[in-house]
Amino acid sequence: MDYFAYANGTLNAEDVPLTAIADAVGTPVYVYSRATLERHAQVFRQALSALPNVHIAFAVKSNPNLAVLRVLAKQGYGADVVSEGEMNRALAAGIKPQDIVFSGVGKTRTEMIAAVRAGIGQFNLESEEEGIELAEIAQALRKPAPCALRVNPDVDARTHAKISTGKAENKFGVAYDSAAAIYARLSALPGLDVRGLAVHIGSQITDLEPSREAFVKMGALMELLRGQGHIVTHMDLGGGLGVPYKAGDALPTPEDYGRMVADVAKDWDVTLMFEPGRVISGNSGVLVTEVVRVKRGSGHPWVIVDAAMNDLARPAMYDAWHDFAAVRPTGETFVANIAGPICESSDTFAREREIDVVQRGDLAVFRTAGAYGATMANTYNSRALVPEVMADGDKWALVASRIDPATILEIEQVPDWLG
């Protein structure tokens, strides 16, 4: 459920007509709804309310916009970060250091120093090597680093291969069978406060069985570790819950997910940690675009829009579906392809899809673009970096400015020796 709905024939973000935002800011532009973000944050928390000790860290990678993080900070959310840049955004948004979890296989020495100094709540270690390095840093800084060991449970999340992370062949975490020995060795290192386990098997998960299987395996590992005398007080179950991208798609809900977790983890006696991204931010945003022209094709017509794969990479990267809708629909539909202006065929948003009839100059949206949208944007083909807007009731504000190609050109220079 979201707060993008039609009123008087025009699609609104909360109470703001998208036409007004497009007139003022231009297109393409991402528009977020504060009420939708808040609703998703509350629904997800509520879905876990049967569990006693829960810590929710929003996956900043899904939407790192400062205003978005501020909304979630006010909802009491912590942050799951994967770089110093994300950590600094979370801190700037008012998220407390102790509510920040740092994941990722490639944390650099500089990043680990910054995170230890900042006093973050937990490092999710993805290898023994990383743990040894962090122990040295923490000892030198005389600040013990709270850690969880991320384990690769070798479970297929049954999602797109490029966003699947929990199979043995993936780069993430330590192998399930070596995890207990690594946990023991890392626990013995001065500098580390090894307190738990972490798992994350993938993203846009649409079937709860693989997650259940992974969580059951993590429970067994926790028992084994405790049996060997180790302390396990925290279990981070990651993120990954999918969202419906197509109107009418039936997916497991946060309630279904919460029930499954409660069933598996009821006797664990740990602080359960979660890292939801898409389920919070996905439906909270749309990408508004203008139709440049409609061109005849050998088959169906091509709707050429002013947004491209540099603004919304998901269709090109993962063959992802984003619903497309006119901002002022006429009620008529036609079958068309939708593409952006970039000079490669992967810059295609949809093929042979039944959509609202649109023509040159019309506004339209790609829905469910609040997660992995603006954050994955780039300037390929010397296009602008797309701006972001947040709506709140009948108010709206620019929350990230468009960066023009001219500004990007300013940071480049020709060395003297090129003449």
Q: Does 372 participate in binding ligand LLP (rule CB under 6 A)?
A: yes
C-beta closer to ligand LLP: residue 81 or 304: 81
- Is 147 catalytic? The answer is no
Q: Does 80 participate in binding ligand LLP (rule CB under 6 A)?
A: yes
Q: Does 17 participate in binding ligand LLP (rule CB under 6 A)?
A: no
Contact segment (CB under 6 A) with ligand LLP among 67-75, 180-188, 199-207, 288-296 equals 199-207
Q: Does 204 participate in binding ligand LLP (rule CB under 6 A)?
A: yes
**Sign of the dihedral through C-alpha 275, 277, 279, 280:** positive
Q: Which of 55, 153, 126, 143 is nearest to 95 (CA)?
A: 55
Minimum gap (Å) between residue 139 Cβ and ligand LLP: 26
C-beta closer to ligand LLP: residue 241 or 327: 241
Contact segment (CB under 6 A) with ligand LLP among 17-25, 233-241, 289-297, 385-393 equals 233-241
C-beta closer to ligand LLP: residue 206 or 289: 206
Site size toward ligand LLP, by CB under 6 A: 23
Q: Does 200 participate in binding ligand LLP (rule CB under 6 A)?
A: yes
Minimum gap (Å) between residue 394 Cβ and ligand LLP: 30
Please give the structure tokens belonging to residue 212: 């259940």
Answer yes or no: are the C-beta atoms of 3 and 33 closer than 8 Å.
yes
Question: Which of 1, 247, 250, 343 does the annotation list as catalytic?
Answer: 343
C-beta closer to ligand LLP: residue 321 or 324: 321
Minimum gap (Å) between residue 363 Cβ and ligand LLP: 24
The binding track of 309-348 with respect to ligand LLP, each residue x by CB under 6 A or -, is -----x---x------------------------------
Among 27, 33, 103, 122, contact with ligand LLP (rule: CB under 6 A): 103
C-beta closer to ligand LLP: residue 197 or 363: 197
The binding track of 147-166 with respect to ligand LLP, each residue x by CB under 6 A or -, is ----------------x-x-
Q: Does 176 participate in binding ligand LLP (rule CB under 6 A)?
A: no
Among 240, 329, 370, 387, contact with ligand LLP (rule: CB under 6 A): 240
The binding track of 263-302 with respect to ligand LLP, each residue x by CB under 6 A or -, is ------------xxxxx-----------------------
Answer yes or no: are the C-beta atoms of 54 and 48 closer than 8 Å.
yes
Structural Rg of the chain based on CA atoms? 23
Residues 6+ apart with CB under 8 A from 176: 151, 152, 153, 154, 217, 221
Q: Does 62 participate in binding ligand LLP (rule CB under 6 A)?
A: yes
C-beta closer to ligand LLP: residue 270 or 371: 371
Please give the structure tokens belonging to residue 97: 């250091």
Binding residues vs ligand LLP (CB under 6 A): 59, 61-62, 80, 103, 163, 165, 200, 203-204, 238-241, 275-279, 314, 318, 371-372
The residues assigned a catalytic role are 343
